[in-house]
Amino acid sequence: MVTQFIYNKEEDTYTCPQGEVLRTKGTWHTKKSGNGAPSYQFKKYRTSACKDCPVKNLCTGREKGGREIDRSEYADVVEENSKRYRENAALYRKRQEWNEHIFGTIKRKWGYNHTNLKGLKKVNGEFALIMTVYNMKRSINILGFEELMAKLKNWQPNYKGMLCAFAKTRRLKLISDIQFYNTNLAA
């Protein structure tokens, strides 16, 4: 299994279970994915030690040539994410409990597994409507229709506070946008 091969980031090599080092020539190949999925780049890693390896038949089905490991251009971030998940498994489980069932209901039960509109602005609008309906249905499930209506009737919205929170978020976004452009224009 590829998980038994250890990647060495500094050397850009893999070490196999027999202790042999698999190296790359550095050529990027293109993997064309089917079903409209985007293609991606990967490098190949090999070692000439495979031809004399006593466990070659356990490692690869290839009669000619040895074992090849493909490493995608995204492997670093995938590995970082797996590491974060392993180190924070309880936190990720909590997130699943809190958030995932919402998207499960919307996608699987209501059938919104795609959007009808295109473009970030329009999709945000469409999704805001879906989430509003979800929140209303959930509130009715928790409080019941009568209590929800009573609460809405007596609701005193704090528009000033909401406006301040909105302005603060916009200001933070503006600062992060400026930092982003500064970093990228300076690069």
Instruction: Kindly list the residues in this chain that would bind ligand SF4 in the complex (CB under 6 A).
Output: 16-18, 20, 47, 49-50, 53, 55-56, 59-60, 66-67
Shortest Å distance, C-beta 7 to ligand SF4: 13
Residue 115: how many other CB atoms lie within 10 Å: 14
Give the nearer residue to ligand SF4 in terms of CB position, either 53 or 71: 53
- From CA 173, how far away is CA 180, in angstroms rounded? 10
Give the nearer residue to ligand SF4 in terms of CB position, either 70 or 100: 70
Can you list the pairs that 21-28 forms with residues at least 24 positions away whose Cβ atoms lie under 8 Å?
Answer: 21/47, 22/46, 22/47, 22/67, 22/69, 23/47, 24/71, 28/73
Q: Pick from 176, 155, 158, 156: which is nearest to 166 by CA? A: 158
**How far is the CA of 161 from the CAs of 132, 158, 166, in angstroms?**
21, 5, 9
Shortest Å distance, C-beta 18 to ligand SF4: 4
Shortest Å distance, C-beta 51 to ligand SF4: 8
Give the nearer residue to ligand SF4 in terms of CB position, either 14 or 42: 14
Shortest Å distance, C-beta 69 to ligand SF4: 8
Give the nearer residue to ligand SF4 in terms of CB position, either 20 or 126: 20
